[in-house]
Structure 1
Amino acid sequence: MADTTTHPLLTRSSLRRQRLIGIALMCGALICFSCLDATAKWVNRSVDPLVTVWARYMSAFLLTAAVLNPWTQPGLLKTRRLPLQLVRSTLLFLSTLCNFVALQYLQLVETMSIIFSTPLLVALLAGPILGEYVGARRMAAIGVGFVGILVITRPGLGAMHPAVLLSVAGAVAYAFYGITTRMLASHDSTATTTFYSGLAGIVLMTPLLPWIWTTPPSPLTWLLLALTGVFGGLGHWLLILAHARAPAAILSPFIYSQIIWMLALGYILFGDWPDPWTFAGAGIVIASGLYLLYRERVRHQEPERSA
């Protein structure tokens, strides 16, 4: 009898511990992604942003290849959806390119607040692409979220820097990247998809190096260029580990904690402090995203109750 009474308690305790570990890993991933953007903004002051993009993908590829390669994992390169893998890799490259160039001119919090619109875009695009249509409440939340983006950018009021358009384009590319990732989940392994992720960045940028190359002025700049790939690769690895330990519904709200790290890094490294409009717009976008997550959880619970 002792086993039957203690085992459920141990199971719940173990489950809670795993979820807490997943949340910690998720927060670690977000810190890495924040450091990636801050590092890119720092090195962009002395080298061409395109060089930073190439360094981010090359260093991440070398780091990933040390763990994931066809010799340690036979069949790694085999994919059932090669064209879709290439499209996904290209979308990630375009998102990184737009974001890194925009970081030359925008504050970290500004770019992050615009990227927070990605869940809104995914919810909007999932209908026509995946057949996952949203209801009236979630559509209203998406509309409110885009109002938040307008508050941040303030087009037509003389406050919008043209680089905002690049940041928006990056968010759109990242939304399509998220959708293609979901489409590939049922066809290829996580290892295969991870290996293909940085392919487009290397293939498209390496031939351009003779024309875009800027020699880093110091050993520190070389180190920071290498760290862009380390932060990116480590962040994605921690993200995978987090989702292996906790459901997405639990982890997703913590995405918005990234604005804390971006705010701190922006102020410490660059002396940037967002204006009240940026804070207000970011709050609207975050509130809309959290409401979408709430409605998604309710939608999944309703069939269980009816059953």
Structure 2
Amino acid sequence: MTLSDNMRASFLIMLSMAAFTVNDALMKLASSNLPFFQQIFMRGVLITIGLTILAHFWGHLRFRPSRKDRALTALRTAAEAIGTIFFLTALFSIPIANLSAILQALPLTVTLAAAIFLGEPVGWRRIAAILVGFIGVAIIIRPGLDGFTIFSIYGVGAVIAVTFRDLAARKLSKSIPSSRVALSAAIGVTIMALFGSLYRAEGWVTPTVSEAALLVGAALCLMAGYIAAVAGMRLGDLGAVAPFRYTSLLVALILGFFLFDEWPDFWTMFGAAIVVATGLFTLCRERATARKTPTGLRIR
């Protein structure tokens, strides 16, 4: 059976989401002994080396971005660094599936932020879906109730940071290679982690063989996730492959159960279902809107 480009792209997106989530699990496993910023720094060094090799292999290191793209890349990198701090702080303190459920709100927040800051058109149906999706997020974190934890707010902070990261990415020129953008982010996060280590003065902890293996595995998973995500988004139509990003929630549920003996309660699952459903609806509406406009006939 011959697979279409969209089917192959969908498999690549699912692979990338699985790789990203396995990276999260490996980082969580390595977090019991290693200082917070040291862990980010060590992984960042490995990713920076890997992305530099890839960018060199693809001939992207010679690319000279415009002043506008340099500014947008710097903004995206800053948002990436802030999001990393929020995300890993939450990851090390709450179940991985709970955090993944909160992150499923990203399609909603990006759509809303694009309407507010970039002036992109958003109809009343998507606005209604976004509001319902935010209710789902509130059910997951349950502020003021027994199931609430402050670290869930860090997860929301990660969503906000990643939203601004994606807005900056939307304004980048089509000509700038994705590997250069990712490399800049890796360098920025690594430098942030280095200064964080110096500020916290936690001292350097020599990782054990198993901890080093976990960090290497996390870096390799991030690399694999990046390559698969870029390949998938370039191969298939955005509207066709974007829903498969929700694979990360399923993988997080499985890893949380088998690696950490974690399983979300009913209300977390209920809220996650609302967020996923509204996110899928929003993506479908964006696809339908794109089909009605001349610029939406070809989505890359």
Judge same fold: TM > 0.5, yes or no. yes
Cα gap change, 1:216/1:79 in structure 2, threshold over 3 Å: closer, same or farther?
farther
Q: Distance in 2 between matches of 1:265 and 1:287?
A: 22
Q: Distance in 2 between matches of 1:73 and 1:140?
A: 42
Off by >6 Å, runs of 4+ in structure 1:
none
Instruction: Please point out which of 140, 161, 177 is paired with 1:189.
Output: 177
Q: Distance in 1 between matches of 2:4 and 2:203?
A: 48
Give the alignment of 1:145-156 within 5 angstroms: 145-156=133-144
Paired position in structure 1 for 2:149: 161
Q: Which runs of 5+ in 1 are unaligned?
A: 1-12
Q: Which runs of 5+ in 2 are unaligned?
A: none
Cα gap change, 1:216/1:32 in structure 2, threshold over 3 Å: closer, same or farther?
farther
Between stretches 183-192 and 221-230, larger displacement belongs to 183-192
CA offsets 1:17-74 (integer angstroms, 9 cap, x no match):
3222211111110110110110111111121222222223211111111121499545
Paired position in structure 1 for 2:213: 223
Query: Could you tell me the percent identity over the aligned residues?
Result: 24
Q: Distance in 2 between matches of 1:104 and 1:223?
A: 18
Is the Cα–Cα contact under 8 Å of residues 37 and 196 in structure 2 kept in the other structure? no
Cα gap change, 1:153/1:71 in structure 2, threshold over 3 Å: closer, same or farther?
closer
Paired position in structure 1 for 2:79: 91
Paired position in structure 1 for 2:20: 33
Q: Report whether the alignment pairs 1:132 with 2:120.
A: yes
- How many residue pairs get aligned? The number is 292
SS of aligned partner of 1:105: coil
Q: Distance in 2 between matches of 1:45 and 1:93?
A: 22
Q: Distance in 2 between matches of 1:256 and 1:70?
A: 31
Between stretches 261-270 and 294-303, larger displacement belongs to 294-303
Paired position in structure 2 for 1:144: 132
Between stretches 203-212 and 255-264, larger displacement belongs to 203-212
Residue 239 of structure 1: how far off its partner (Å)? 0.3
Q: Report whether the alignment pairs 1:263 with 2:250.
A: no
Larger Rg belongs to = 1
Is the Cα–Cα contact under 8 Å of residues 9 and 235 in structure 2 kept in the other structure? yes
What TM-score, normalized to structure 2? 0.91
Q: Distance in 2 between matches of 1:230 and 1:79?
A: 31
Give the alignment of 1:109-128 within 5 angstroms: 109-128=97-116
SS of aligned partner of 1:198: helix
Q: Distance in 1 between matches of 2:228 and 2:216?
A: 19
What one-letter code is carried by the residue in structure 1 that aligns with 2:237?
A: P
Residue 120 of structure 1: how far off its partner (Å)? 0.8
Residue 187 of structure 1: how far off its partner (Å)? 5.5
Instruction: Please point out which of 246, 250, 274 is paired with 2:264.
Output: 274
CA RMSD of aligned residues (A): 2.1
CA offsets 1:176-210 (integer angstroms, 9 cap, x no match):
11111111143623232232121211222223435
SS of aligned partner of 1:157: coil
Instruction: Please point out which of 212, 228, 238 is paired with 2:202.
Output: 212
Paired position in structure 2 for 1:202: 190
Is the Cα–Cα contact under 8 Å of residues 95 and 169 in structure 1 kept in the other structure? yes
Is the Cα–Cα contact under 8 Å of residues 15 and 228 in structure 2 kept in the other structure? yes
Residue 90 of structure 1: how far off its partner (Å)? 1.4
Is the Cα–Cα contact under 8 Å of residues 70 and 76 in structure 1 kept in the other structure? no
Q: Distance in 2 between matches of 1:43 and 1:104?
A: 10
What one-letter code is carried by the residue in structure 2 that aligns with 1:84?
A: L
Q: Report whether the alignment pairs 1:288 with 2:278.
A: yes
What one-letter code is carried by the residue in structure 2 that aligns with 1:67?
A: L
